[in-house]
Amino acid sequence: MNPPVKSVSTEPKTVQARAEAGEAPPTDYIIKESQHPLDAPTPLTAPLPVVHLGQPDEAEEIKTALQSWGMFQVIDHGMPPSFLDELRGVARAFFKLPVDEKQKYSNIRDGQFGQEGYGNDGIIAEGQILDWTDRLYLLVQPEDSRNLELWPTNPNSLRDVLHEYTMKTKKLVENVLKTTAISLELSEDFFIGHLGEKFTIVASFNYYPCCSMPDLVFGLKPHTDGTLITVILPDKDVEGLQVMKDGEWITVTTSPHALIINIGDQMEIMSNGFFKSPVHRVVTFSDKDRISIAMFCANLPEKVIGPADELVNDMRPRMYKNLKVKDYTEVFFQRFLQGKRAIDLAQV
């Protein structure tokens, strides 16, 4: 994935530092009235559908969930609650460190924004609306492409816990993708065969500090993921993830130790639009902060993806072109920062 780069002279203030200083969000965080009308109804709250992995109905459950929500929760994912709590604890401990300590892993190196590391989004466009979040963003797979100098050694268990979580996520994702392929009547290896053994996984530890004007900013602006599939470990106590379903925003709830699985644009393309990549966003609160950990799983940059042949027929013509993942993700990130989608690039 190629980071959007721009020369910067100073490190921008983190959102956490602004929140801790009691600063109101500066104007470049304030969203346009048209995107978030103040008189919009309060979103409904609903539990995400549960997929019971390993049960006889798993493929049918995945199909129904992905067609209606584009996401679901899994509880029987095989990761012990104590491990997920440890991971959340490590994320919280990292964000609690003094700013100087976190800046050792800054995503600004030699005056250039890179995507990996700790910090905020790069600023690439006039009028770009910034998100009320700080993150630690690390490529975790392929293992031999890791930039370990950006992997914090404080808290000292972070590296080991993240490595273990990567291995567990890989297994879970392979399992989910087999069932997803079956739900589309494809051979069970369709997605994992394409991905290969060492597919891309990027971990994003997201921290959303309290915000004094939660109605006027996004923790994360409406977007789809550019991935094949994303695994999210949500905050145990604070909701905040909302998904657009049938034209309405819905705040999703999950069981305490569930993982959320959502599909991204690569799945929309490969399934010939049978499954649509869901638009989602994160909201903030004046009295509570929130953490989440997203694992972005994608085809390798040099791979070419396109709709499965079996899903293209007279009744359902080809809706997407074949394209190189690298070419898509490059544009995807530029558009993401501007709050726009990139899927039109792939559409026939």
* Residue closer to Fe ion (CB basis): 58 or 225: 225
Work out whether 204 is an interface residue with ligand AKG (CB under 6 A). yes
* Residue closer to ligand AKG (CB basis): 194 or 280: 280
Number of residues that bind ligand AKG (CB under 6 A): 11
Candidates 206, 271, 272, 277: give the one binding ligand AKG (CB under 6 A). Answer: 206
Work out whether 282 is an interface residue with ligand AKG (CB under 6 A). yes
Which of positions 54-113 make contact with ligand AKG (CB under 6 A)?
Answer: none
Place of tokens 């530029």: 334
Select the residue whose beta carbon is closest to Fe ion and give its number.
225
Q: Which does 234 bind (CB under 5 to 8 A by kind): Fe ion, ligand AKG, none?
A: ligand AKG
* Residue closer to ligand AKG (CB basis): 73 or 141: 73
Work out whether 253 is an interface residue with ligand AKG (CB under 6 A). no
Select the residue whose beta carbon is closest to ligand AKG and give its number.
292
* Residue closer to ligand AKG (CB basis): 183 or 227: 227
Candidates 225, 265, 289, 330: give the one binding Fe ion (CB under 5 A). Answer: 225
Which of positions 285-324 make contact with ligand AKG (CB under 6 A)?
Answer: 292, 294
202 forms beta bridges with: 139, 296
* Residue closer to Fe ion (CB basis): 59 or 107: 107
Work out whether 61 is an interface residue with Fe ion (CB under 5 A). no
C-beta atoms surrounding 279 within 10 Å: 15
Closest approach of Cβ 246 to ligand AKG, in Å? Answer: 19
Work out whether 192 is an interface residue with ligand AKG (CB under 6 A). no
Contact pattern for ligand AKG over residues 24 through 63, marking x by CB under 6 A: ----------------------------------------
Candidates 19, 140, 150, 241: give the one binding ligand AKG (CB under 6 A). Answer: 241
Work out whether 329 is an interface residue with ligand AKG (CB under 6 A). no
CB burial readout 13-23, b (16+ within 10 A) else e: ebbbebbeeee
3-state secondary structure the chain: CCCCCCECCCCCCCHHHHHHCCCCCCHHHCCCCCCCCCCCCCCEEEECCECCCCCCCHHHHHHHHHHHCCEEEECCCCCCHHHHHHHHHHHHHHHHCCHHHHHCCECEECCEECCCEEECCCCCCCCCCCCCCEEEEEEEECHHHCCHHHCCCCCCCHHHHHHHHHHHHHHHHHHHHHHHHHHCCCCCCHHHHHHCCCCEEEEEEEEECCCCCCCCCCCEEEECCCCCEEEEECCCCCCCEEEEECCEEEEEECCCCCEEEEECHHHHHHCCCCCCCCCEEECCCCCCCEEEEEEEEECCCCCEECCCHHHCCCCCCCCECCEEHHHHHHHHHHHHHCCCCCHHHCEC
Work out whether 225 is an interface residue with ligand AKG (CB under 6 A). yes
Closest approach of Cβ 33 to Fe ion, in Å? Answer: 24
Q: Which does 177 bind (CB under 5 to 8 A by kind): Fe ion, ligand AKG, none?
A: none
Q: Which residues bind Fe ion (CB under 5 A)?
A: 225
Q: Which residues bind ligand AKG (CB under 6 A)?
A: 204, 206, 220, 225, 232, 234, 241, 280, 282, 292, 294
